[in-house]
Amino acid sequence: MNDVNRLGQEKVSKLLLKFSLPAIVGMLVNSLYNVVDRIFIGNNVGPYGIAGITIGFPIMIILMSMGLLFGVGGATLFSIRLGEGKSKEAEQSLGNAFVLLVIAGILFMILGQAFLRPLLTVFGASETVLPYSMEYMRVIFFGAVFQVVSMGMNNFIRADGNPKIAMYTMFLGAGLNTLLDPIFIIVFKMGMTGAALATILAQCVSAVWVTAYFFGPRSANKLRLKYMRLKLSVVTRITSLGIPGFSLQLANSLLNVILNRSLYFYGGDLAVSGMGIIHSIMTIMLMPIIGIRQGAQPIISFNYGARKPGRVKTAVNLANMAATAIVITGYAIIRLFPEQLIGLFNNTPELVEFSRSALLSWTLCLPLVGFQIIASSYFQCIGRALIAMFLTLTRQVIFLIPALLIFPRFWGLTGLLYAAPFADFFSVLLTGICFYFGMKNLERDMATDNLMGKRAGES
């Protein structure tokens, strides 16, 4: 019995552990890309170097969103088709998604190189920080296609029933980046260029690795040339399923632009550097939740396609409990050791003082965030793209961006920092209501989808 068949038969808790643990480890390792860059830049270039990466971060988020749009969307459709027993349609999803990822990466590289300076200026780079940011992002854009393909196709490896190999992909890329960073930055004294070069070389190796997997003997489903011809109905379905994650990342990019510009206005370049450190810490804290979400996705999607509501509910509930336990642990670590966490990046007294206060304010409602991430992604796993998109946008758009624009007008920099817990609380409240009714109506939704699928097959 292969891993794909086990999705519908093996004990759910065992499956979730098997699929999530590698994803958690992999996501933690993968998060080292930006975190390690910031650590080496902060300790060898200084606070302006951290600010330079922070200003470019919204652009990198947009790049990541391309991988999520076609990677997560394609892998979700891939899993649903496998659950329905339609292997050819599953491979068609794989082939179409691969082509879309390559096209997206190439277009992003061309546009990024053409409009780099105005983009960074609009995104909040001051005259002091702009040279640092341009030096870093110029190189990053050359590796755009590698990052998109590596991130996107790794979702398919997990959905193909090989979560350990998906984890190894992340180990390979992040490990190589961590190894190359000190060589290029410290030994060769290449500064920002060295950090970016280490990143794109690591992503190039990862992209080759994930692509080779689907041509080799370890994959149950293959990349076939005949399925790489884009089909409108498949592209549309992949895109619709990937839009929630894509929209969240676009919103996250917009959020970071607004945040960076506001931080500079109310606190200067030092505040931008401090938020860059906070982003890195939050990335490490939340990556395990993303790993649980990724591990649960093929289990939920497969069993939804196989019409097994009990297994779907068990997988979602276990994922929610695990995610909540992780964010509570992260919250405790932040409260107990804020200075030590910040000191990993830079020990400038003014920067440490601001970052400590900002970190404690920004993460006030962190214990609630795990549930919101898992519960909102549940709707994406079962093909409910619109509600999933709405819920994923609540934290980053519907509540947070207005708070970022309004709160500082009354409370200055302090109001800016407390916008995050405000958004976290109300997004969790809204997601909880939708999730309750989603669970209540699960069997009805399955029956409706089954009936629609039969009618589509008859027509």
With a cut of 50, say whether residue 388 has pLDDT above it: yes
Instruction: Give the pLDDT band (50/70/90) at residue 4.
Output: low
User: Minimal CA–CA distance to 105: which of 225, 207, 224?
Assistant: 207
Mean pLDDT of 179-195: 94
Distances (CA, A) of 239 to 92, 93, 377, 445: 14, 11, 16, 21
Whether the pLDDT of residue 457 is over 60: the answer is no
For residues 283-302, give the mean pLDDT: 89
3-state SS assignment for residue 441: coil
- pLDDT, position 452: 58
Tokens of 142: 């050359």
**CA pair distance 381, 162, nearest whole angstrom:** 18
pLDDT tens for 259-280 read 999 999 999 999 999 999 999 9
What pLDDT does residue 410 have? 95
pLDDT at 197 over 50: yes
Q: How far is CA 159 from the centre of its chain?
A: 17
Ramachandran angles phi, psi of 211, nearest 5°: -70, -40
What crossing angle do the helices spanning 400-417 and 349-362 adopt, rounded to 10°?
A: 130
Tell me which of 404 and 29 has the higher pLDDT. Answer: 404
Four-point Cα dihedral 341, 347, 349, 354, nearest 10: -40
The torsion angle over the Cα atoms of residues 327, 334, 429 and 372, rounded to 10 degrees, is: -30
pLDDT score at 330: 95
Q: Which pLDDT band holds residue 395 (cuts at 50, 70, 90)?
A: confident
Percent of the residues in the chain that have a pLDDT greater than 70, as a whole number: 96
In the predicted structure, residue 459 carries a pLDDT above the cut 50: no
Q: Supply the pLDDT for residue 450.
A: 62
Per-residue confidence band for 37, with pLDDT thresholds at 50, 70 and 90: confident
Worst-scoring range by mean pLDDT, 28-42, 48-62, 73-87, 369-383? 28-42
Instruction: Write down the pLDDT at residue 3.
Output: 52
Average pLDDT, the chain: 90
Using alpha carbons, select from 192, 176, 105, 114 the residue that is nearest to residue 147: 105
Q: If you average pLDDT over residues 52-80, what whole number do you get? A: 91
Over residues 335-342, mean pLDDT: 95
- CB-based burial label for 260 (10 Å; 0-12, 13-18, 19+): buried
The model's confidence at residue 384, banded by pLDDT at 50, 70 and 90, is confident
Residue 428: pLDDT above 90? yes
pLDDT above 90: residue 231: yes
- The mean pLDDT of 378-385, rounded to a whole number, is 86
pLDDT at 108: 95
Give the pLDDT confidence score for residue 453 in this predicted structure: 55
What is the C-alpha to C-alpha distance for residues 78 and 73, in angstroms, rounded to an integer?
A: 9
pLDDT mean over 59-64: 89
Global confidence as pTM = 0.81
Alpha helices in 214-348 (DSSP H): 232-305, 309-336, 338-343
Q: Residue 1 carries which side chain, given as an amino acid letter? A: M
Burial class (CB in 10 A: 0-12, 13-18, 19+), 175: middle
Lookup: tokens for 41: 């830049």
- Amino acid present at 73: G
Count of beta carbons in the 10 Å neighbourhood of residue 212: 12
